[in-house]
A and B are shown apart, each in its own frame.
Chain A
Amino acid sequence: MDIFLQQLINGLTIGSLYALVALGYTMVYGVMKLINFAHGDLVAFSAYVGLTIFSQFFGASANSLFNVIIIFLLTALVVAFVGVLLERLAYRPLRTAPRLSAVVSALGASLVIQNAIMLIWGPNMKIFPSDLLPNTTWQLGGVVLTFTQILILILSAILMAALYVFINKTKIGTAIRATAIDQDAAKLMGINVNRIIMIIFIVGSSLGAIGGLFIGIYYRGLTFDMGWLYGLNAFIAAIIGGIGNIPGAMLGGLLLGLFNAMISGYISTEWAETFTFILLIIILILRPTGILGEKTAEKV
């Protein structure tokens, strides 16, 4: 029972991180119908940016809550800027091109970011400092709960709730939903589609940046090619929930995190990825539009 509860906590923590990253995929896919393969690498990039900001500006000084907030905000700012740049340079020129061209462009952009990380920070693993957040742990029965885990759970819940309100209750959110349904009709209603796509990239990249920083803090080891791993898992989370669907991405992230944790806890860690992808393929076969996705007829 203790193992089960422990894996439940671990699973929810990883799941929240997947969910944060998955939101970036799902929003871009919802509006542009494009798998943003570079998003995972942006997430890896944000972990490195966070690490650099920390070691350059805060290394010796005491790690107050204020400093941590500044690190998160600065990282989100830098990564959001790169995300907007990515859209401007690699995706906007291809909006009317064949769909596969945009996919190749996304793969190219992913290679660029991944190798830029390698050239800037080197090919070897970087270790995230352990003292960025307090190392407090709590024992609840046989289950260990760390401060980092609690922060990840609470903060991602707050961010996701905020995003949900933003998308469903604000004017910009309505414009985003309208653009996702039909870009041309949205344009006719006076919505500036370019601006909406920019906002999506800002929001998606910022959430990915927070996810990436937490991945760095939680797992501590950073490699330049780690973006694909987290990116693919987050993308699977988005598909499980129903791609293009924001609550779906959150639900998918949590479910995938729990699934991974249970497989690692009870079956095998060597075959964990295999189980993840078997789950993905079964879901694609049974319900390609995901758990919360609607069944849509193909447009002729």
Chain B
Amino acid sequence: MNKTTIIATLFIAVMGIFPFLVDSAWLSIGITFLVFSVVAFSQDIILGRAGIFNMGHAIFFGIGAYTTAILNVHFGLEIIQTIPFAIIIPVIISILLAAPIIHLRGDYLLVATIGFNIIFEQVLSNDPFGLTGGPNGIFGIDVVRIFGYELFSETAIYYIAFSLLLVTLLVIRNLDNSKYGRALYYINKDEIAAKSMGINISYYKLFAFALGAAIAGVAGSVFAIQYSAVSPESFNFMQSVMFFAIVLVGGSASLPGVIIGTFVMFVLPELFTEFKESRYLIFGAAMVLTMILRPNGVWPATFGNIPTFLKKKAATSKGEEQ
């Protein structure tokens, strides 16, 4: 067992027994942390792994949440029945939105995705066909029922979110070891080289978008269950900026990095409510400072790079030869 495995096991174990250690206020912070870390991981697939400058990730999170809310409140589906839709609809929309713009260069793509997010906000607030409830959103989402059991307690929701995180981690592990993961990695490292090796760039980028959207969609569904309500401001463009920043401040394509990023951006503000007024000022300054001190994030990924101890060895053996 190496150090990473021990830390990961410890983290999962602590998160697994967390509901028995804390009171209900902390429990709801725990759920928030789990849901947002899942969204951050899904953003990391698009931004960190595929290197696509996506600054509209809250769209997919929001579509998932609204799908569950609309199907449950307006069409009377059980929560559990809405979840497949909360996966499929974000996937379809992500492909429809991304396909025409996927070839754009970094900054242009970033601006286009900001544009999509602002359009999304405006669609939600303008209440098309009376479905989204306008600026107030949708209230009164049902509780989860499985085989007649009602999972309404916070602990039950916590474990739903926790299992979602575990599934997400599993998906990411399998992605990293697959042909798709390697293709994304090469596209991120050097797009032109990847293209000349015969990798179909648009196809893999769309795949990254679709996978990220699917995961964010389920996370949105859990978010809707936790608050039994959805409203546009949870999925606005600033939220996307946050997800974008989490991945880069934590360290892109790095699991501990994304966890740290989520903790810093979503959990710390819950703890320091007395700094409510100035907390975003402190955040902004911390974002600038982190980038200056650690341009690759707090805990950058080392996958694919030569570890430093090997580099030293290589250098010294070269020195001995001369």
Chain B residues with CB under 8 A of A98: 295-296
Q: Is the CB of A115 within 8 A of B284?
A: yes
Q: Which of B100, B107, B241, B244 makes the CB contact (< 8 A) with A285?
A: B100
A99-131 interface code vs B (CB 8 A; 1 in, 0 out): 111111101111111111011000000000000
Please name the residue on chain B nearest to A112 by beta carbon: B284
Total number of B residues with any Cβ neighbor in A under 8 Å: 41
Q: Is the CB of B110 within 8 A of A94?
A: no
- The verdict on A284 contacting B101 (CB below 8 Å), with A103-B110, A105-B292, A110-B284 known, is yes
Closest-CB distance, B93 to chain A (whole angstroms): 14
Q: Does A133 contact B (CB under 8 A)?
A: no
Q: Does A93 contact B (CB under 8 A)?
A: yes
Q: Which of B53, B281, B285 makes the CB contact (< 8 A) with A100?
A: B53
B111-137 interface code vs A (CB 8 A; 1 in, 0 out): 110111011001100100000000000
Once bound together, how far apart are the Cα atoms of A216 and B295, in whole Å? 37
- The verdict on A104 contacting B111 (CB below 8 Å), with A111-B283, A119-B278, A284-B101 known, is no
Q: Is the CB of B123 within 8 A of A274?
A: yes
Please name the residue on chain B nearest to A229 by beta carbon: B118
Q: Does A182 contact B (CB under 8 A)?
A: no
- The verdict on A281 contacting B116 (CB below 8 Å), with A107-B244, A108-B284 known, is yes
Once bound together, how far apart are the Cα atoms of A118 and B282, in whole Å? 13
Interface residues of A in 200-220 (CB under 8 A from B): none
Q: Is the CB of A278 within 8 A of B296?
A: no
Closest-CB distance, A247 to chain B (whole angstroms): 20
Q: Is the CB of A107 within 8 A of B287?
A: yes
Chain B residues with CB under 8 A of A274: 118-119, 122-123
Chain B residues with CB under 8 A of A112: 281, 284-285, 288
Q: Does B10 contact A (CB under 8 A)?
A: no
Q: Is the CB of B101 within 8 A of A94?
A: no
- Give the size range of A's interface with the partner: 35 or more
- The verdict on A115 contacting B280 (CB below 8 Å), with A101-B291, A108-B288, A284-B108 known, is yes
Chain A residues with CB under 8 A of B167: none
Q: Does B105 contact A (CB under 8 A)?
A: yes
A257-300 interface code vs B (CB 8 A; 1 in, 0 out): 00000000000001101100110110011001000000000101
Closest-CB distance, A288 to chain B (whole angstroms): 5
Chain A residues with CB under 8 A of B291: 94, 97, 101-102, 104-105, 108
- The verdict on A232 contacting B114 (CB below 8 Å), with A35-B107, A101-B296, A284-B101 known, is yes
Once bound together, how far apart are the Cα atoms of A105 and B252, in whole Å? 15
Closest-CB distance, A124 to chain B (whole angstroms): 13
Q: Which of A99, A273, A281, A300 makes the CB contact (< 8 A) with B106?
A: A99
Main secondary structure of the interface of B (DSSP, over half): helix
Of residues A33, A113, A115, which shows the largest number of chain B Cβ atoms within 10 Å of its Cβ? A115
Once bound together, how far apart are the Cα atoms of A66 and B278, in whole Å? 38
Chain A residues with CB under 8 A of B116: 277, 281
Closest-CB distance, A234 to chain B (whole angstroms): 12
Chain B residues with CB under 8 A of A281: 100-101, 112, 115-116
Q: Does B245 contact A (CB under 8 A)?
A: yes
Q: Does A165 contact B (CB under 8 A)?
A: no
Q: Does A144 contact B (CB under 8 A)?
A: no
B249-270 interface code vs A (CB 8 A; 1 in, 0 out): 1001000000000000000000
Chain A residues with CB under 8 A of B112: 280-281, 284
Once bound together, how far apart are the Cα atoms of A93 and B292, in whole Å? 6
Q: Is the CB of B292 within 8 A of A109?
A: no
Q: Is the CB of B295 within 8 A of A271?
A: no
Chain A residues with CB under 8 A of B123: 274
Q: Is the CB of B241 within 8 A of A107?
A: yes
Q: Does A198 contact B (CB under 8 A)?
A: no
Q: Does B104 contact A (CB under 8 A)?
A: yes
Of residues B100, B244, B245, B295, which shows the largest number of chain A Cβ atoms within 10 Å of its Cβ? B295
Q: Does A89 contact B (CB under 8 A)?
A: yes
Q: Does B277 contact A (CB under 8 A)?
A: yes
Q: Which of B108, B245, B278 makes the CB contact (< 8 A) with A107?
A: B245
A117-161 interface code vs B (CB 8 A; 1 in, 0 out): 011000000000000000000000000000000000000000000
Interface residues of A in 14-71 (CB under 8 A from B): 29, 33, 35
Q: Does B12 contact A (CB under 8 A)?
A: no
Q: Is the CB of B288 within 8 A of A235?
A: no
Chain A residues with CB under 8 A of B277: 118-119
Q: Is the CB of B192 within 8 A of A277?
A: no
Once bound together, how far apart are the Cα atoms of A94 and B287, in whole Å? 13
Q: Does B248 contact A (CB under 8 A)?
A: yes
Chain A residues with CB under 8 A of B104: 284, 288
Chain A residues with CB under 8 A of B107: 29, 33, 35
13 A-B residue pairs with CB within 8 Å: A90-B292, A93-B292, A100-B252, A101-B295, A105-B292, A107-B287, A109-B284, A111-B287, A112-B288, A119-B281, A274-B122, A284-B101, A285-B100
